[in-house]
Amino acid sequence: MTSKYTVTVLGLGAMGLPMATRLASQLTVHGFDIAEPRLQLAAEAGITTFSTAQAAAKGADAVLLAVRNSQQLTEVLFGENGVAPVLDQGSVVILTSTVGTGAIPATVERLAEYGVELVDAPLSGGPVRAGGGDLLVVVGATPSAREQAAPVLDLLASTLSIVGDKPGDGQALKTVNQLLCGVHIAAAAEALALADALGLDQAKTLSALEAGAAGSFMLSNRGPRILEAYTTGGAEVLSRLDIFVKDMGIVGKAARAAGLAAPVAAAAEQLYLLGQAQGLAASDDSAVIKVVAPTRRHAG
């Protein structure tokens, strides 16, 4: 693993920038984002930035995509200014976003025309863990593609789970992961709203719940932020609420395609959709508590 290996990060947002910064500790990193402030932050972090995605991607050993959805995936690779035509044969595209399995087969087929493989590697862990190389990364890719992407994946992941030899396997597992995450956040919000409605101190309730059988990673991670939802400006936005609108939509679509009922996931999805409709789309996902309890009843 040396600085001679070049990775281009396209999308320098909440996750893309800390990943790029982490990679720059040992690799040569090129970066591009449509937002000029993100480019400035990347440059300050030692990342070589470019004015176009194509310029950033040319000559890279790997291109890491931190995009929002399948539409952006297609646009970045194959749109009018898409990067696929400038990629070197033998390079790989590492997809770190949750976009669902539907867009993967066509993406693989079109990249193959350029001699490029797709590494389906959605990840979980949040911006802080991204900057420390402490992410869970689930990978679906051929052995050759995984080998080419190894310098990137090894730097980002504390837990690297190879779930299959074909792209799409990673998206499938991440879909299952997001079902649980989305439900757990919604359940934590409902529980703390109920605690308030019953006259309990929410912070003390959270501490007690964490110590017992009801504890979970999402309760501990989102719980303090849920309690900040009512403060001026709300909790710091580490994961937007509308990301779970997207992800729970992916979960529902996958369940329907499989002929599987997922009533708990569907109920959680409705909470996120209501939050989006109420103007909370750009708020931290912990703000979902305000859907069931728009105001706090008791001081805490």
Beta bridge partners of 185: none
Q: Give residue 288's pLDDT.
A: 98
Domains of the chain (ranges, CATH numbers): 6-166 (3.40.50.720), 172-292 (1.10.1040.10)
Convert the pLDDT of each residue in 174-185 to its tens digit.
Answer: 999 999 999 999
Q: Are 13 and 38 in contact (CB under 8 A)?
A: yes
Q: Which residues contact 231 (CB under 8 A, 6 or more apart)?
A: none
Neighbour tally for 60: CB within 10 Å: 24
Distance CA 252, CA 248 (A): 6
Distance CA 8, CA 47 (A): 10
Catalytically active residues are 174
Q: Give residue 299's pLDDT.
A: 72
Q: Where are the alpha helices (DSSP H) in 8-142?
A: 16-23, 36-44, 53-57, 70-78, 104-112, 127-131
Q: Are 93 and 82 in contact (CB under 8 A)?
A: no
Convert the pLDDT of each residue in 157-171 to its tens digit.
Answer: 999 999 999 999 999
Number of H helices, E strands in the chain: 13, 9
Point out the residues of the chain with pLDDT beneath 50. 1
DSSP H or E stretch at residue 186: helix 169-197
Distance CA 94, CA 117 (A): 9
Q: Which residues contact 289 (CB under 8 A, 6 or more apart)?
A: 189, 190, 192, 193, 226, 229
Beta bridge partners of 94: 64, 119
Nearest to 252 by CA among 209, 197, 227, 260: 260
Q: Give residue 121's pLDDT.
A: 98
DSSP H or E stretch at residue 273: helix 263-277
pTM: 0.92
Encoded tokens for 51: 């004015």
Q: What is the DSSP pairing of strand 135-140 with strand 123-124?
A: antiparallel
Neighbour tally for 183: CB within 10 Å: 20
